[in-house]
Structure 1
Amino acid sequence: MRTSPVIPVLVIEDAATARPLAEALVKGGLRVLEVTLRTPAAIEAIREMKQVPGAIVGAGTVVSTDQFELVMKADAEFIVSPGLTDRLGSAITGSGVPFLPGVATAGDIMRGLDLGLEHFKFFPAETSGGLKALKALAAPFYQCKFCPTGGISAATAPEWLAFDPILCVGGSWVTPKGASMAEVETLAREASALGR
């Protein structure tokens, strides 16, 4: 979470585009890449992106222990889930792989703390009350750090990143549909500069 101020949330339709996409993002300064399990190409995309020097490739939208096992066979380096259940949380924390579960309520965070977690994805960030809601949640959970994701843009990211408990934000704006690899590299460079 401290490697880059923005973690690209990637929905990859064609695994053949995965490696050039990872190369453009890494060249632009974003090394931590979250490949969401929203398409049939996701597992192969993780394998392809892991070939890119400097890339730290994880799996997002992991919602079951079966999916967790699949992404571990693809050598995912971290796991992101949209929510947190005891079963999935126990399986992932027991493995020792870095895990960023989605939370939106105090109860979600308390469930995570019970599992020994202190780093969370605040999701869906904008529709869960935005920065105001996260500030209210972060107060009693002073030990926790967050990566808000969902509805964050290049325009709003700086405001989120200015709040101390936020280590990074997740966003899809760095890889808009139809963008060339040169455009992605430029957007990645702009996003990587947000943390400076």
Structure 2
Amino acid sequence: MADKTNALLSILKLQPVVPVLVIDDVATAVPLARALVAGGLKAIEITLRTPAALDAIRAVANEVEGAVPGAGTILNARQYEEAVDAGSRFIVSPGTTLEILEAARKSRVPLLPGAATASEVMALREEGYTVMKFFPAEQAGGAAYLKSLSSPLAGSVFCPTGGITAQNAGDYLSLPNVICVGGSWVAPKAMVEAGDWDGITRLAMEACKLAR
């Protein structure tokens, strides 16, 4: 567990913002990832919300130098294994189940498990997890709620995701128990559809400047 935790931390420390992507067309995966990497966002979460997701992960893993692809919205052990086989270097789940925890135990690839309450954080700590995803961040109480967990649950660090924008990301990144945030604003759907890779690179560069 210690080795996996360190591997996960090394990925999450690469940048203040992890892009959370929903890719509909696999043809956009490589140029999109290249644009994000060019802007300084190397760790990229591709969510398993579309039929193109696994092929997108595979393409990014094989073709984009410097990218660290991960898989998000992992809901069960089968998806965990498929994402790893596609080349994912980290796995993200919106919540946590015993099935996912067992899959994580068997895998070499680290899990960023989702938690939204103090009880869920405590349960994950009992399993050896100190790095978690706080989701859905804004809807679950926002930065103020997460700040309130920092003292009673000291030693736990989070990547808040869900409702994070360029405007409120700094509120989270200023917290002592936040290592980075996840957000989709660095790759707006309209810009992806238009192939505005230079524009996405600019958004990535701006995201990299956010303090943490």
**Shorter-normalised TM range:** over 0.9
> Unpaired segments of 5 or more residues in structure 2?
1-11
Task: After TM superposition, list the pairs within 5 Å mapping 1:176-187 onto structure 2.
Answer: 176-179=188-191, 180-187=196-203
Percent identical: 49
The superposition leaves residues 113-153 of structure 1 with CA deviations (integer Å, 9 ceiling, x where unpaired) of: 12211000100000001011111222211011100000010
The superposition leaves residues 76-100 of structure 1 with CA deviations (integer Å, 9 ceiling, x where unpaired) of: 1000000011221122133232211
CA contact (8 A) 1:93 1:115 kept: no
**Secondary structure at the residue paired with 1:63?**
coil
CA contact (8 A) 1:105 1:137 kept: no
Q: 1:195: how far off?
A: 3.3
Which aligned segments of 4 or more residues in structure 1 are displaced greater than 2 angstroms? Answer: none
Query: What is the match of residue 59 of structure 2?
Result: 48
Q: 1:177: how far off?
A: 1.2
CA RMSD in angstroms comes to 1.1
CA contact (8 A) 2:133 2:159 kept: yes
> 1:155 aligned to 2:164?
no
Structure 2 letter corresponding to 1:156: N
The superposition leaves residues 2-58 of structure 1 with CA deviations (integer Å, 9 ceiling, x where unpaired) of: 111000000000001000000000000000000000000000000111121110000
Query: What is the match of residue 193 of structure 1?
Result: 209
User: Which one has the bigger helix percentage?
Assistant: 2
Task: After TM superposition, list the pairs within 5 Å mapping 1:1-196 onto structure 2.
Answer: 1-50=12-61, 51-179=63-191, 180-195=196-211
User: What is the alpha-carbon distance in structure 2 between the residues aligned to residue 69 and residue 167 of structure 1?
Assistant: 26
Q: 1:163: how far off?
A: 0.7
User: What is the alpha-carbon distance in structure 1 between the residues aligned to residue 69 and residue 211 of structure 2?
Assistant: 20
User: How many residue pairs get matched?
Assistant: 196
**Secondary structure at the residue paired with 2:201?**
helix
TM norm structure 1: 0.97
User: What is the alpha-carbon distance in structure 1 between the residues aligned to residue 116 and residue 147 of structure 2?
Assistant: 12
Query: What is the match of residue 7 of structure 2?
Result: none
**Secondary structure at the residue paired with 2:185?**
coil
The 10-residue stretch of structure 1 (178-187 or 25-34) with the greater mean CA deviation from structure 2: 178-187
User: What is the alpha-carbon distance in structure 1 between the residues aligned to residue 105 and residue 71 of structure 2?
Assistant: 15
User: What is the alpha-carbon distance in structure 2 between the residues aligned to residue 137 and residue 164 of structure 1?
Assistant: 10
Structure 2 letter corresponding to 1:165: N
CA contact (8 A) 1:62 1:81 kept: yes
Structure 2 letter corresponding to 1:18: A
